[in-house]
A and B are shown apart, each in its own frame.
Chain A
């Protein structure tokens, strides 16, 4: 009841194997970081296409659950960006992020996820170059670590057969 079924369409990109490419989910705040990424684009800065950007209104809205969900559903890395402390459009939204993400990092470490797979940085609207460098660096780190493939790992350990709709006769 509490757990929504995964109805997302299958991603055509391979989760592992020779054609694997790092798949990184980026949560960017609307006011600074997304504009910063936009600036990198309009300035035609080159950076790897491996980050799938999800725009949110404020980095304070990024529930740590979104990060663990991204890993659990097959992301190889996660990037969280928000306004610099003091620059938040909502005054103190990113004060919540600045405490949540370091605490989340400790949990990810306990779960065996390498710290290099998760980055939390402040990117202002003027920092297009910082953003492009950040993405290039993160992509390279994740590429060196290789695929994470959490869904494959859980399937191999037998999680979720009872949740399978076929077991309900559907």
Chain B
């Protein structure tokens, strides 16, 4: 075995795995973004499973002994039965299972589909969209009989789940995608034995404070007079975007990114998930926004709130599966 029982530094080369579930693939790219450090990574670790980058089969993983993989990075949420099956398999085969990226940690963008029913999603994907040509009205079926026996495809789940909803997770690396510098620090800490391989949902490669803490824009203590959107007006440089009326989710969002978006004039979208001590990013944002409105009467408040185009989609853009309610009824 490559580690001693006390989770100290591995004595042999690390074995790492990476898997891709309900996500866009940006997380795989973000690991490559560590650049020249990739050569360092190859020095200390062997890749034993990474479908995006190398040709491994599920069968290979099944043949590994339990606990064979040291660090397993799992990116993507759980949208279907295949992803859950592989999550359980990798949990069994890995010493340390790491939820990598916002989809695995909090559901991410795919979890926004939790605001729709399965029927609604299937209608949009196979029937209603103008670009769809499906005159027979065919929908994928979990089991299709054929002359060679029943053909099965993964079952579509009623809602997107987080990785930790189906298996215990040791570490979570938030971000969409996680910043490569932070990720490299986390990998070194895990590989070097500074932190134990086993833990419980501990967030690494990020900070506890909010994005506002890292943001350089100036606060002028002005209340919001109207809501604006980036495609209709241009923000004044150097001034807090939220005070200008752009829906910046920074106050409720975990830092670690270096506040890159506000520095470039784009409001924070909340991709690092809820800040430390915040559980529900969306309601934290409702709380923050509502206390900043320039409204003296209920009518004025209502008028301002009506200007917000899509509060649920904006405040829960990356964390719907982690919110208290998690999905539509």
Q: Hey, which chain A residues are within 8 Å of B283, CB to CB? A: 63-65, 67-68, 104, 107
Q: Hey, which chain B residues are within 8 Å of A107, CB to CB? A: 282-283, 286, 311-312, 315
Which residue from chain A places its CB closest to the CB of B172 in the assembled complex? A1
Which residue from chain B places its CB closest to the CB of A4 in the assembled complex? B279
Q: Hey, which chain A residues are within 8 Å of B291, CB to CB? A: 96, 99-100
With A64-B287, A159-B161 known to touch, is A111 a contact of B302 (CB < 8 Å)?
no
Task: Decide if B280 is an interface residue (CB 8 Å cutoff).
Answer: yes
With A2-B276, A85-B297, A96-B291 known to touch, is A168 a contact of B168 (CB < 8 Å)?
yes
Q: Hey, which chain A residues are within 8 Å of B295, CB to CB? A: 95, 98-99
Q: Hey, which chain A residues are within 8 Å of B312, CB to CB? A: 106-107, 110-111
Cβ–Cβ contact A161 & B166, under 8 A: yes
Kindly state the separation between the CA atoms of A113 and B158 in the bound complex, as whole angstroms: 17
Task: Decide if A154 is an interface residue (CB 8 Å cutoff).
Answer: yes
Cβ–Cβ contact A106 & B301, under 8 A: no
Which residue from chain B places its CB closest to the CB of A109 in the assembled complex? B312
Query: How many residues does chain B have at the interface if contact means C-beta atoms less than 8 Å apart?
Result: 52
The residues in A between 17 and 50 inclusive whose CB is less than 8 angstroms from any CB of B are: none
Task: Decide if B167 is an interface residue (CB 8 Å cutoff).
Answer: yes
Minimum C-beta distance from B224 to chain A (A): 10
Kindly state the separation between the CA atoms of A63 and B167 in the bound complex, as whole angstroms: 31
- Where chain B touches its partner, the secondary structure class is mixed
Which residue from chain A places its CB closest to the CB of B274 in the assembled complex? A2
Kindly state the separation between the CA atoms of A106 and B315 in the bound complex, as whole angstroms: 12
- Where chain A touches its partner, the secondary structure class is helix
Kindly state the separation between the CA atoms of A153 and B326 in the bound complex, as whole angstroms: 11
Best-buried of A2, A112, A158, A167 by chain B (most CB within 10 Å) = A2
Cβ–Cβ contact A157 & B158, under 8 A: yes
Which residues of A line the B interface, CB within 8 A?
1-4, 63-65, 67-69, 71-72, 85, 95-96, 98-100, 102-104, 106-107, 110-113, 148, 150, 153-154, 157-163, 167-168
Q: What are 27 contact pairs spanning A and B, CB under 8 A?
A: A2-B276, A2-B279, A63-B287, A68-B280, A68-B323, A68-B324, A68-B325, A98-B295, A99-B290, A102-B305, A103-B290, A110-B115, A111-B115, A111-B325, A111-B328, A111-B329, A112-B328, A113-B325, A150-B325, A154-B326, A158-B166, A159-B159, A159-B161, A161-B166, A162-B164, A162-B168, A167-B167
